[in-house]
Amino acid sequence: MSQKLFTRPQTLKDMATHYCPGCHHGIIHRLVAEVIDELGVRDKAIGVASVGCSVLAYEYFTIDMFQAAHGRAPAVATGIKRVHSDATVFTYQGDGDLAAIGCGEIVHAAARGEKITTIFVNNAIYGMTGGQMAPTTLVNQVTTTSPYGRNLENSGMPIRISEMLSTIDGAKFIARVAVNNPANMSKAKQAIKRAFEIQLRGEGFTMVEILSTCPTNWGKSPVEAATWLEENLIPYYPLGIFKAPEEVVK
């Protein structure tokens, strides 16, 4: 007898996405959808898509969704959660969105201990607008607005958002993961699931930062991009759980 081992999550629509080949946004969407399915919260899940390459995320998930202004997703999610306290509310934000224009909103959502989950996709560049420097762009990394490489004197050091938010009391679960290989993918999914579970328990703000590729704007093939992520992003942005309730860390 045959058994179906692998199917499309119910929370994900059966359609092709607009993401470039080798981009990790698609994998991350899938992991979020699988977690929503597995936790059985699809009926009460509300997502907030942000401005960036994932601006169309509301096209891909089969749940109620909002599209928020650039950087404002955590504020929008706050409004939603304060109306539907029983809903599972998440934002899906890029690093330009969250670490630059939306830095205030994310810090204060965390400070309020807002019971939402943020999926923070860090590809160290502005993807959608064509590869400009982000607050997370590495030193010496070439982008269209740092054509000679990010220069410390002019632009300072890249921000480590997970470390920063971990210092905020209202943040209850903060982890950094990657989806560059199956082992990391499985850790990433576990982290996303824990973040949602902690939200469901009403404990406070949760965020999973996911290191991601942008082959198109990094000017690399999908394979080269995955290697570059391993060799450059992970050393500066160490993977791991930065903050969690004790029983979750174990």
Q: What residue ranges bind ligand SF4 (CB under 6 A)?
A: 19-20, 23, 25, 53, 123, 127-128, 214-217
Q: Distance between alpha carbon 67 and the CA centroid of its chain, in Å?
A: 15
* Footprint on residues 67-96 left by ligand TPP (CB under 6 A): 70, 94-96
Among other proteins, ligand SF4, ligand TPP, none, the one that 229 touches (CB under a kind-dependent 5 to 8 A) is none
| CA nearest to 149, candidates 159, 166, 137 | 137
CB-CB contact of 82 with 197 (8 Å): no
- Nearest residue to 24 (alpha-carbon basis) of 55, 49, 54, 61: 54
Residue-by-residue DSSP string for 135-156: TTPPTT--BTTBTT---HHHH-
Q: Which partner from the list ligand SF4, ligand TPP, other proteins, none does 215 bind, CB cut-off 5 to 8 Å by kind?
A: ligand SF4
Considering CB distances under 5 to 8 angstroms, the limit depending on partner class, which of ligand SF4, ligand TPP, other proteins, none binds residue 96? ligand TPP
Burial 136-159 (b: 16+ CB within 10 A, else e): bbbeebbbeebeeebeeeeeeebb
Contact call for residue 72 and other proteins (CB under 8 A): yes
Distance CA 130, CA 159 (A): 21
| Minimum separation from the CB atom of position 35 to ligand TPP (A) | 20
Per-residue x/- marks for other proteins, 14-53, CB under 8 A?
A: ----------------------------xxxxx-x-----
Helix (H) or strand (E) segment spanning residue 82: helix 73-83
* Cβ(188)–Cβ(208) below 8 Å: yes
| Interacting span for other proteins (CB under 8 A) from 68-76, 175-183, 193-201, 225-233 | 68-76
Residues forming the site for ligand TPP (CB under 6 A)? 51-54, 70, 94-97, 121, 123, 125-129, 134, 214
Residues forming the site for other proteins (CB under 8 A)? 42-46, 48, 55-56, 58, 61-69, 72, 75-84, 87-88, 104-105, 107-108, 112
